[in-house]
A = this chain, B = another copy of it.
């Protein structure tokens, strides 16, 4: 049986790097898939292995010896719809296909609030939400054991440690810190739900175990 080893795709990203640090601090093995390994040069840990690869290439080799996958990559806000198609959609689909081939036990997807209904989102967000919707749909149909997390609007504030999966009544409250998302992802990796799940997540008033 393989030892638990979590592949974090997009491990130098704004959420991915915080998740990488949290899991290493927790004593867990992490494989970090990044395009530029210098972005992790400040992390030294014997449990960290880095795979340097562009997500537009074949990155199936990154899944070797991994038991879990977290897809935390994102093209980022300013890169345009072409990268949205290549990274947010296509790389996510490839990750699910590779995970299936590698018999990954649990696939955790960082999705987005609104990915369930792109037409109802703000117009400027629709291309991104379509990409996330289709990537989520591909994962749901993959046969993998999956957890899809759909955080609200992301902020750079400090972790609060308090969550809710209920959409706040006021849209302005439908937000969550990236630090809290990273904590929630680690919780989800460490406590995989028995059932496949899609969970919206916001800062709220519950501990993470109660929010899920």
Chain A residues engaging chain B, CB cutoff 8 angstroms? 56, 58, 80-82, 84-86, 89-90, 93, 118-119, 126-127, 130-131, 134, 137-138, 141
Q: Which residues from chain B contact A119 at a C-beta distance below 8 Å?
A: 58
Q: Contact partner of A126 among B84, B86, B127, B138, CB < 8 A?
A: B86
Copies of this protein in the complex: 2
B56, B58, B85, B141: which contacts A85 (Cβ < 8 A)? B85
| A126 vs B86: C-alpha distance when bound (angstroms) | 8
User: Nearest chain B CB to A198's CB is how many angstroms away?
Assistant: 18
A58's closest neighbor in chain B, by CB? Answer: B119
Instruction: Output the residue of A84, A90, A119, A138 with the most chain B CB within 10 A.
Output: A90
Q: What 17 new A-B contacts, CB under 8 Å, besides A84-B85, A85-B85, A141-B141?
A: A58-B119, A80-B81, A80-B82, A81-B127, A82-B127, A85-B126, A85-B127, A86-B127, A86-B130, A89-B130, A89-B134, A90-B118, A90-B126, A93-B134, A134-B134, A134-B138, A137-B138
Contact of A81 among B56, B84, B126, B141 (CB under 8 A): B84
Minimum CB–CB distance for A90 against chain B, Å: 5
Looking at chain A's contact residues, is the secondary structure mostly helix, strand, loop, or mixed? helix
A85 to B135, CA, bound (A): 13
- Closest CB of chain B to A94's CB: distance in Å? 8
Q: Which 5 A-B pairs have the closest CB atoms?
A: A81-B81, A81-B82, A85-B127, A90-B130, A82-B127
Residues of B within 8 A of A131 (CB): 85
**Chain B residues closer than 8 Å to A80, beta-carbon distance:** 81-82
Report the minimal beta-carbon distance from A88 to chain B, rounded to whole angstroms.
10
Q: How far is the CA of A138 from the CA of B141 in the complex (A)?
A: 11
Residue of B nearest to A118 (CB): B90
Contacts of A118 in B (CB 8 A): 90
Q: What are 6 A-B contacts defined by CB distance under 8 Å?
A: A56-B126, A81-B127, A85-B85, A85-B127, A134-B134, A137-B138
A82–B89 CA distance with the chains assembled, in angstroms: 13
Contacts of A137 in B (CB 8 A): 138
